[in-house]
Amino acid sequence: MEKKIEQLLGQERRICITGHVHPDGDCVGSCLGLRSYLLTLDPALTVDVFLEPSPASFSILAGFEKIRMYQEEDGDYDLCFVLDAGERGRLGANASCLEHAGRIICIDHHRTQRAFVEEQIVRPEASATCELLFDMMDEEKISLETAECLYLGIAHDTGVFRHSNVTRHTMEAAGALIGKGVRHSKIVNDTFFAKSYLQNQLLGRALVESIVFCEGQCIVSMVSLKTMDFYRAAHEDLEGIVDQLRLTRGVEVAIFISETEFQVYKVSLRSNEKVDVSRVAEYFGGGGHLRAAGCTMTGTFYDVVNNLSEQIAPQLGM
Ligand code: AMP
Ligand code: MN
Ligand code: MN
């Protein structure tokens, strides 16, 4: 049994919540879900959420419009929750709110967690931070608004209940949230499956330009800064490309590389059955889960692919 949120709380009145850079569905869902739950427990609390700008489609969630970056003027907090982030470096500029918090609690599900605060609740077996938060909430007190946040987070981190991280418990949590009346179909269609014209163009391009290696067991594609500039694309426009690459028949590892600065790349890794991509990502200073992980790498595209390939091939028995 997980410790309940209520048991974690002391006399704290000013609470802030933050999560990882390039916020994804689980990050935004868990931060807004916890905010909504805390305000249900006590509407007089101050609960602020600090995150980098995130996809506009998440505005379906209550409290989305209140999300902002932490600034010195925000002052001190009695308590800070850090959600869905395995290390301090993943918080980007919002890490500065940790310096202004009396107490810090990290709630996460990354298997590559590097302890960075005293109070940590980390469950790698949870499909999403939102699933773990669900366990830490009293079901009776989960409002429809809170439920929608948690449902969105679980749906996103499981690829809408397709990935191997889904357990019986994941489905039971999702079932309980559906029982609260969440707009489950709208949430997955509007925030996970729907793509803008630009997103589809970038996806198409990445698929056309992809290369297979390791005898067809790996697939890689890259979007350069030049291409990003040409399309005036943002990082969030690349969401989902790696998942499409992973569906290529015969492929065990899919790699999607996006250039963020000249010869600096955000690398996304996915695997199907055998390869522990969290180990590969961790080797390059990143982290993640068994079948989904990421890291930052530098050099030319060919350096990056060669270096990755050296770490992946042994796991493929090559
Ligand atoms: P992504 O490929 O960005 O969807 O990320 C897949 C998983 O890897 C997520 O759980 C991320 O939190 C994690 N991840 C991605 N990039 C990094 C990184 N640079 N360092 C640590 N974990 C990462
Ligand atoms: Mn995340
Ligand atoms: Mn997550």
In the prediction, which pLDDT does 18 show?
Answer: 98
Contact partners, residue 108, CB within 8 Å, separation at least 6 = 82, 83, 84, 85, 86, 120, 121, 122, 123, 129, 132
Task: Take atom 12 of ligand 1 and give the residue whose Cα is closest.
Answer: 288
Residue 311 Cα, ligand 3 centroid: separation in angstroms?
Answer: 24
Residue 37 Cα, ligand 1 centroid: separation in angstroms?
Answer: 26
In the prediction, which pLDDT does 1 show?
Answer: 80
In the prediction, which pLDDT does 114 show?
Answer: 87
Q: For residue 295, which atom of ligand 1 is closest to its CA?
A: 19
> Ligand 1: which of 267, 284, 295, 297 to mutate, most ligand atoms within 8 Å of CB?
295
Residue 34 Cα, ligand 2 centroid: separation in angstroms?
Answer: 15
Q: For residue 268, which atom of ligand 1 is closest to its CA?
A: 2
Q: In the structure encoding, which two tokens stand for residue 276, read together?
A: 């522990």
> How far is 187 from 124, CA to CA, in rounded Å?
25
Counts of helices then strands in the chain (DSSP H, E): 11, 11
Ligand nearest to the CA of 246: 1
pLDDT in tens, 141-198: 999 999 999 999 999 999 999 999 999 999 999 999 999 999 999 999 999 999 999 9
Task: Take atom 2 of ligand 1 and give the residue whose Cα is closest.
Answer: 268
In the prediction, which pLDDT does 113 show?
Answer: 84
In the prediction, which pLDDT does 110 show?
Answer: 96
Residue 12 Cα, ligand 1 centroid: separation in angstroms?
Answer: 31
> How far is 98 from 74, CA to CA, in rounded Å?
12
Kindly list the averaged pLDDT for each block of 10 residues, start to end, along the chain of length 318. Answer: 93 98 98 98 98 97 98 97 96 97 97 89 97 98 98 98 97 98 98 97 98 97 97 94 97 98 98 97 97 98 98 97
> How far is 176 from 140, CA to CA, in rounded Å?
11
Ligand nearest to the CA of 267: 1
DSSP code, position 315: G
Of 317, 39, 37, nearest to 180 (Cα)? 37
> How far is 8 from 145, CA to CA, in rounded Å?
22
Ligand nearest to the CA of 158: 3
Contact partners, residue 75, CB within 8 Å, separation at least 6 = 100
How far from the centroid of its chain's Cα atoms is residue 83's Cα? 10
Superfamily holding 5-193: inorganic pyrophosphatase (n-terminal core) (3.90.1640.10)
Angle at 20 between CA 16 and CA 25, to 5 degrees: 95
> How far is 31 from 35, CA to CA, in rounded Å?
6
Strands 292-298 and 264-271: antiparallel
Residue 245 Cα, ligand 1 centroid: separation in angstroms?
Answer: 17
Residue 318 Cα, ligand 2 centroid: separation in angstroms?
Answer: 31
* Residues near ligand 1 (Cβ within 6 A): 20, 86, 90, 268, 286-289, 292-296
Asked if 254 contacts 241 with a C-beta cutoff of 8 angstroms, the reply is no
Contact partners, residue 87, CB within 8 Å, separation at least 6 = 112, 113, 114, 116, 287
Task: Take atom 14 of ligand 1 and give the residue whose Cα is closest.
Answer: 294
> How far is 35 from 148, CA to CA, in rounded Å?
12
In the prediction, which pLDDT does 230 show?
Answer: 97
Q: For residue 24, which atom of ligand 1 is closest to its CA?
A: 4
Residue 40 Cα, ligand 1 centroid: separation in angstroms?
Answer: 31
What's the pTM?
0.96
In the prediction, which pLDDT does 116 show?
Answer: 87
Domain 197-316 architecture: Roll (3.10)
> Ligand 1: which of 24, 222, 257 to mutate, most ligand atoms within 8 Å of CB?
24
Task: Take atom 16 of ligand 1 and give the residue whose Cα is closest.
Answer: 294
Residue 5 Cα, ligand 3 centroid: separation in angstroms?
Answer: 19
Residue 128's φ and ψ, nearest 5 degrees, are -150, 155
- Calculate Rg over the CA atoms of the chain: 19
Q: For residue 27, which atom of ligand 1 is closest to its CA?
A: 12
> How far is 221 from 257, CA to CA, in rounded Å?
6
Half-sphere CA count of 247, side-chain side, radius 13 A? 8
* DSSP letters spanning 150-206: HHHHHHHHTTTTTSTT--HHHHHHHHHHHHTT--HHHHHIIIII---HHHHHHHHHH
Please, where are the H alpha helices in the chain?
Answer: 5-8, 25-41, 129-136, 144-157, 168-179, 184-188, 197-208, 225-231, 241-246, 277-283, 301-312
The average confidence (pLDDT) of the chain is 97
What residue segments make up the domains of the chain, in order of their start? 5-193, 197-316
